[in-house]
């Protein structure tokens, strides 16, 4: 603890200095001043006692004690003034420290690779670090209290040493047991926190599920409530057992420490008695010694308590530091090779990608030696069965993941994505993923967040909404663009899944990026809206020259794609135009078979059409 504490306290102080250097100076100066005032006060009390217990008449003794009494009063007054200055400055400093610490780790975490955010170990660290930001705030108070206790202890120890040198080690002996017990207990608490941090998060999640609006319908109709409550209780009971275990342990440690402390106190007062008995100390001096021992023991106790609390908080601050270090090592690199001004294509060359596993079994690659091209200005469709790796592939295209070390390369013309400026890659891409985020903000922000660095242009928001059909959603909102799309807040409005999807597409359009990636953009859209989106996407590619990467299971909608890549089990099964893939002479059959299955489902659904009707319907379907 002695080795680590100064460095960790230094972290707290550095954060405080960053947050508000002036307030920190006020706190440190006033606490040091308070300690000095207490010390001077104690020396003055010592002098008052000396005068009061000396020989002479009561009046004389009191008169002689008066100056020292005045010093006691002045130091008490000064101490109060300094305490209020310190309280005011600490109160202002603490929330700022917490903000600076929180900003620091959030600032680092939002720039880490996606793989870090998906790593449970990183999340565990994140949970502890979140607590660490709180600890940094609390550390300020413990640091100031420690400083204060240390100065008043030095005063008491100084007085004791002057009275008799043997009293000082005895004072330390008296406090050692409680120091040991506080340290032991705080360490146990810290270890237990780490063992239970994920457990606590899971318990909290269960509690949240019971009140969350997303789960509300199933909780009620399927009666999930008692099931969740049962699990919540089981988890809470495990936690309670751990708390009880800790409390029992703390009680045992405390009892042992009290016993040892009692013996040490006996020894101290015994020594004092022996000194008196043997005539080595006068009664007046012994009185002062008792006072100094009591003050010193109180200061030492408080010092031990403050240092232990400081130590415990510092362990969490250490987690915070660890997270910051880890976030830095897993950060998306800044800078790199610039991308070509006018891009011709993005090409995957034998790209293999593996998601990090849980550590028990070696993970299998999700993409195996994938080679394919995304020529710019074209519509490229990615199709394939569930789990074939389409979404993973576009995340690599968007720069969210990099190919496995030692595997192939993603080329942006002749620039390797590994060494490219990743911010430039992100800047070239608009991504509407399957699980695009429903921001709990207004309609305007939900679209405008596609270009978060700039002021939101209402006209452009409306234009993008018109593109995706979100204008119809907008028309029905009570406060138009300013309607809050978050149920559960005042003025919040709920919209349907399909309406959200239109907003998602509007957001991707608003971003105006060179490559627009849309992952299942129409899964929640009605037939008319779906047709409109595909028409618009086609128009977009034709008029603005944007590259469209389209993932969809609706195979009839990829007829107009310039290029179709078919994925199967993480490999490219075939690539080509619709006609090439449908032609038994050029296609492998993977696409054709799937297409025919979907088409036959439509045919089967048509009740005995006349030849003419059938043709009309098929034409509409293919359109
Ligand atoms: N974040 C992740 N961590 C670990 N494995 C993942 C992750 N995302 C996807 N996978 C796995 O990778 C495989 C491919 O998933 P992916 O989402 O790329 O498929 P997909 O073709 O888009 O499927 P779908 O058509 O169902 O959307 C799946 O086996 C999936 O379990």
Residue-wise pLDDT tens digits, 441-459: 899 999 999 888 788 999 9
The predicted model gives 416-442 an average pLDDT of 89
The predicted model gives 369-397 an average pLDDT of 92
Give pLDDT tens digits for 82-133: 989 988 998 899 899 989 989 998 999 989 998 888 888 888 888 888 888 8
The predicted model gives 202-229 an average pLDDT of 79
Q: What percent of the chain has pLDDT over 90?
A: 27
Query: What is the reported pLDDT for 202?
Result: 81
**382 Cα–ligand 1 center, Å:** 14
Instruction: Report strand pairing: 515-519 vs 367-375.
Output: unpaired
The predicted model gives 390-405 an average pLDDT of 93
- Model confidence at 358, pLDDT cuts 50, 70, 90, reads low
Q: Is the CB of 358 under 6 A from ligand 1?
A: no
Q: Which of 208-222, 236-250, 367-381 has the lowest mean pLDDT?
A: 208-222
* Cα 39–chain centre separation: 44
Per-residue pLDDT at 259 exceeds 90: yes
The predicted model gives 497-503 an average pLDDT of 86
**Residue 27 vs residues 86, 228, 284: alpha-carbon distances, Å:** 5, 48, 37
**391 Cα–ligand 1 center, Å:** 7
- Model confidence at 568, pLDDT cuts 50, 70, 90, reads very high
Per-residue pLDDT at 615 exceeds 50: no
Per-residue pLDDT at 576 exceeds 80: yes
Question: If you average pLDDT over every residue of the chain, what do you get?
Answer: 84
Q: Is the CB of 552 under 6 A from ligand 1?
A: no
Q: Is the CB of 387 under 6 A from ligand 1?
A: yes
**394 Cα–ligand 1 center, Å:** 11
Q: Is the CB of 388 under 6 A from ligand 1?
A: yes
Give pLDDT tens digits for 278-329: 888 777 677 777 877 887 888 878 888 888 888 888 888 888 889 999 999 9
Atom of ligand 1 nearest to the CA of 355: 4
Query: What is the reported pLDDT for 351?
Result: 94
Atom of ligand 1 nearest to the CA of 567: 21
Paired with 370 in beta bridges are: 351
- Name the nearest CA neighbour of 621 among 467, 606, 380, 386: 606
Atom of ligand 1 nearest to the CA of 434: 27
Beta carbons within 10 angstroms of residue 113's beta carbon? 18
**568 Cα–ligand 1 center, Å:** 12
Which protein residue's CA is at the shortest distance from atom 6 of ligand 1? Answer: 355
Q: Is 484 helix (H, G, I), strand (E, B) or coil?
A: strand
Q: Is the CB of 565 under 6 A from ligand 1?
A: no
Question: Using H for helix, E for strand and C for coil, what is the string for 379-446?
Answer: EEEEEECCCCCHHHHHHHHCCCCCCCCCCCEEEECCEECCCECHHHHHHHEEEECCCCCCCCCEHHHH
Query: What is the reported pLDDT for 163?
Result: 77
Contacts by 268-274, CB closer than 8 A, 24 or more apart: 268/167, 268/170, 268/171, 268/173, 268/174, 268/293, 271/166, 271/167, 271/170, 272/167
**572 Cα–ligand 1 center, Å:** 15
**327 Cα–ligand 1 center, Å:** 25
Atom of ligand 1 nearest to the CA of 385: 25
Give pLDDT tens digits for 512-546: 889 999 888 766 666 676 777 777 777 777 777 78
Per-residue pLDDT at 492 exceeds 80: yes
Residues across the chain: 623
Which protein residue's CA is at the shortest distance from atom 8 of ligand 1? Answer: 392
């Amino acid at each position: 603890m002695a080795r680590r504490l100064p460095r960790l306290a230094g972290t707290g102080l550095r954060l405080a200095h960053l947050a508000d250097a002036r307030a920190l100076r006020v706190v440190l100066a006033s606490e040091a001043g308070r300690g000095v005032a207490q010390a001077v006060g104690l020396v003055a009390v010592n002098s008052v006692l000396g005068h009061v217990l000396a020989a002479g008449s009561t009046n004389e003794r009191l008169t002689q004690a008066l100056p020292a009494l005045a010093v006691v009063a002045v130091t008490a007054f000064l101490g109060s003034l300094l305490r209020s200055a310190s309280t005011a400055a600490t109160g202002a400093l603490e929330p700022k420290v917490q903000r600076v610490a929180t900003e620091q780790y959030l600032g680092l975490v939002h720039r880490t690779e996606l793989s870090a955010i998906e790593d449970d170990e990183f999340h565990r660290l994140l949970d502890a670090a979140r607590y660490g930001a709180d600890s940094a705030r609390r550390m300020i108070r413990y640091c100031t209290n420690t400083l204060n206790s240390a100065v008043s202890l030095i005063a008491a120890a100084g007085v004791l040493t002057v009275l008799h040198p043997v009293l000082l080690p005895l004072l330390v002996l008296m406090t050692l047991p409680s120091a040991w017990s506080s340290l032991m207990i705080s360490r146990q608490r810290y270890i237990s926190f780490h063992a239970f941090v994920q457990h606590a998060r899971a318990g909290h999640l269960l509690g949240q599920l019971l009140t969350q609006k997303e789960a509300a319908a199933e909780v009620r109709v399927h009666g999930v409530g008692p099931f969740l409550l049962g699990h919540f209780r089981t988890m809470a009971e495990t936690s309670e057992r751990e708390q009880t275990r800790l409390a029992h342990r703390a009680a045992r440690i405390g009892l042992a420490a009290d016993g040892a402390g009692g013996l040490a106190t006996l020894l101290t007062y015994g020594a004092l008695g022996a000194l008196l008995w043997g005539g080595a100390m006068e009664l007046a001096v012994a009185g002062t010694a008792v006072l100094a021992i009591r003050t010193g023991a109180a200061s030492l106790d408080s010092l031990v308590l403050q240092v232990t609390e400081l130590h415990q908080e510092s362990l969490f601050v250490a987690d915070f530091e660890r997270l910051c270090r880890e976030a830095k090592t897993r950060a998306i690199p800044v800078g790199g090779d610039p991308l070509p001004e006018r891009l011709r294509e993005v090409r995957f060359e034998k790209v293999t990608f593996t998601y990090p596993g849980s550590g028990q079994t070696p993970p299998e690659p999700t993409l195996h030696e994938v080679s394919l091209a995304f020529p710019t200005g074209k519509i490229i469709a990615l199709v394939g069965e569930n789990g074939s790796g389409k979404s993973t592939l576009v995340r690599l295209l968007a720069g969210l993941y990099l190919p496995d070390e030692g595997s192939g390369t993603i080329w942006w013309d002749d620039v390797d994505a590994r060494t490219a400026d990743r911010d430039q890659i992100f800047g070239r891409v608009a991504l509407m993923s399957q699980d695009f985020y429903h921001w709990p903000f207004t309609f305007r922000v939900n679209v405008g967040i596609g270009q978060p660095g700039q002021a939101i242009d209402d006209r452009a928001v409306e234009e993008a909404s018109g593109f995706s059909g979100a204008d119809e959603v907008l028309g029905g909102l009570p406060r138009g663009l300013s309607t809050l799309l978050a149920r559960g807040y005042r003025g919040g409005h709920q919209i349907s899944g399909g309406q959200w999807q239109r907003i998602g597409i509007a957001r991707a359009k608003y971003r105006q990026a060179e490559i627009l990636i849309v992952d299942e953009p129409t899964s929640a859209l009605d037939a008319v809206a779906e047709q409109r989106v595909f028409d618009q996407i086609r128009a977009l590619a034709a008029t603005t020259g944007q590259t469209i990467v389209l993932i969809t299971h609706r195979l009839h909608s990829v007829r107009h794609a310039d290029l179709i890549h078919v994925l199967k089990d993480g490999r490219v099964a075939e690539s080509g135009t619709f006609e090439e893939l449908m032609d038994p002479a050029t296609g492998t059959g993977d696409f054709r078979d799937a297409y025919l299955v979907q088409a036959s489902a439509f045919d089967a659904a048509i009740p005995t059409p006349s030849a003419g009707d059938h043709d009309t319907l098929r034409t509409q379907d293919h359109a």
